[in-house]
Amino acid sequence: MRLALFDLDNTLLDGDSDIEWSELLARHGAMDAARTHAYHREYEQGTLDIDEFLRFQLEPLAREPIERLLGWRREFLTNWIRPRISARARALVREHVAAGHVVVLITATNRFLVEPIAEELGIPHVLATEPEQHEGRFTGAVVGTPCYRAGKIAHLEAWLARRDARLEDVHESWFYSDSHNDLPLLSRVTHPVCANPDERLRAHASRSQWPTIHLRVADDAN
């Protein structure tokens, strides 16, 4: 198996999907976007309490009717996400698919938001934080471990185990990420690639001689 793993926010997406979602919901009077921005600053600093953040971020899913959520999600994909996916990001995914690699989107963002983005990108497999559902409605809770930091490794290992494989047995593996929070998984693959890296990841990449690429929308013109 040759495995290509992609982070989403600030990697394939020129921006953060949780922030974009909160801004959209704020326009509909359904979320305080300023709190999401505050949590994002904690994420950048490496101090985020992921459980606290998810309780806040998943609360609208539990509160709002599913029909309304689906309508907002369609608006989200069309107006907030598609303009933030660069041609370079799309081309990179296509290159791995064309090479016959198993392509996976692996992200801390919840599956409800991620699945249509993965479909838009042509990525067949999604590993994400799983929001709990009961009788067709979200509960506001998370199923299992959030897909965050070392939790990404746990999600990936469980996914591979269902295919009778282990990460150590994968012949070649790529992981593209922008964040120092993804160092646990970046350190486990055979080809770590820093895409639009934050300052701490850029410094680590320089020390480790990891390649760095840029997938911003603005980069498409260069």
Q: What angle do CA 10, 15, 18 make, to 5 degrees?
A: 100
The share of the chain scoring above pLDDT 70, in percent, equals 100
Closest CA to 155 of 170, 167, 145: 145
Ranges of beta strands (E only) in 100-177 are: 102-110, 125-134, 137-143, 172-177
Cα–Cα distance for residue pair 84/17, rounded to 1 Å: 10
DSSP-assigned beta bridge partners for residue 3: 102, 173
Say what the pLDDT of residue 61 is: 98
Q: Within a 10 A sphere around the Cβ of 195, how many other Cβ atoms?
A: 24
Known catalytic membership, residue 9? yes
Question: 129 is written with which tokens?
Answer: 């934080």
Domain count, the chain: 1
Known catalytic membership, residue 16? no
Say what the pLDDT of residue 82 is: 98
Say what the pLDDT of residue 28 is: 96
What integer is the mean pLDDT of 10-17?
97
Active-site residue (options: 7, 16, 178, 198): 7
Question: What CATH number does the domain containing 187 carry?
Answer: 3.40.50.1000
Task: Grade residue 220 by pLDDT with cuts at 50, 70 and 90.
Answer: confident
Contacts of 50 (CB under 8 A, 6+ apart): 108, 146, 148, 149, 151
Cα–Cα distance for residue pair 18/154, rounded to 1 Å: 22
With H, G, I as helix, E, B as strand and everything else as coil, classify residue 131.
strand
Active-site residue (options: 9, 14, 18, 198): 9
Contact by Cβ (8 Å): 181, 149: yes
| Whether pLDDT at 123 is above 90 | yes
Note down the domain range covering 126: 2-221
How do residues 161-179 score in pLDDT, each as one tens digit? Answer: 999 999 988 999 999 999 9
Say what the pLDDT of residue 212 is: 97
